[in-house]
Amino acid sequence: MDNNTIPRKKVLVVDDEKDISTYLSRIFEEGGFHVTCAADGEQALQAAERERPDLITMDLSMPRLSGVRSYQALKSRPDLATIPVIFVTGITGPGGPRDTERFYSTRRQIPPPDGFVSKPIDPAKVLELARELTSSSVLACPSPPDPQPLGLSTGSVPD
């Protein structure tokens, strides 16, 4: 298979702030990803089922707990739980990033995410992290063959 037929990695951007969504989308597009957006938890689940993205970013600015609930919902679905998730957080805790990590790690029902991106968003860092997380999923399982409707179930899940 030559490079031209390798499908682009898919990212699902979950954020209810339209401008942040647009910002992240353009970053990922410039980085060669295919981007889908969702504005709330429900849309996120539907989009995740439909698109089977290679990566999900979720905005979890501390006051907004609905982001956490969507994340829990995602992680409770065995077919979606393996998709790597990056939290995009506006650090409001006094300790900075350590505080956030501690916050999430003390909540036992919430498995920690695969990565953190703190605001203000640094496009280069975001892409670096995204590539890291999506390339490891390639090593774990082969990327799906060129999407041709040859009776292959599009619901086949990378293991």
Partner 1 sequence: MEAKINTVADEQRARDFKGPNLSPARLFDSVPYWITIQDRDFRIVSASAKLIADFGDHLGEKCHVAYKNRSEPCAECTLECTFEDGQEHTSQEALFDAQGMPRHVLAKTAPVRNQAGEIAAVMKVYVDVTEVRALQNELAGLGQLIGEIAHDAKNILEGLQGGVYIVNLGFKNGNQEDIRVGWGMIQRNVTRLSARLMDMLYCARRRSPRRMPVFLPAVVREAVELFTPRARQFHIDLQLRAAEQVEVLGEPEQIHKLVSNLIGNAIDACTADAEKQGLHRIVVAVSRDELDAIIEVEDNGIGMDTTTRDVLFKDATTTKGNAGHGLGLLLAQKVASEHEGEITVQSQPGKGSVFTVRLPVRHPKSILT
Q: Cβ(92)–Cβ(61) under 8 Å?
A: yes
Q: How far is the CB of 98 from partner 1 (least distance, A)?
A: 19
Q: What are residue 57's DSSP bridge partners?
A: 13, 86
Q: Is 27 in the site for partner 1 (CB under 8 A)?
A: yes
**Listed ranges 68-76, 106-114, 115-123, 134-142: which one lies at the site for partner 1 (CB under 8 A):** 115-123
Q: Which residues, 72 to 111, sit near partner 1 by CB under 8 A?
A: 90, 92
Select from 43, 61, 118, 143 the one that contacts partner 1 (CB under 8 A): 61
Q: Cβ(22)–Cβ(16) under 8 Å?
A: no
DSSP-H helix ranges across 31-153: 41-51, 65-75, 97-106, 123-140
Q: Cβ(82)–Cβ(111) under 8 Å?
A: no
* CB closer to partner 1 out of 30 and 40: 30
Select from 1, 63, 106, 109 the one that contacts partner 1 (CB under 8 A): 63
Q: What angle do CA 111, 44, 134 make, to 5 degrees?
A: 60
115, containing H or E segment: strand 115-118
Select from 3, 5, 19, 142 the one that contacts partner 1 (CB under 8 A): 19
CA atoms within 13 A on the CB side of 55: 31
* CB closer to partner 1 out of 8 and 119: 119
Q: How far is the CB of 119 from partner 1 (least distance, A)?
A: 6
Residue ranges in contact with partner 1 by CB under 8 A: 17, 19-20, 22-24, 26-27, 30, 61, 63, 90, 92, 119-121, 123
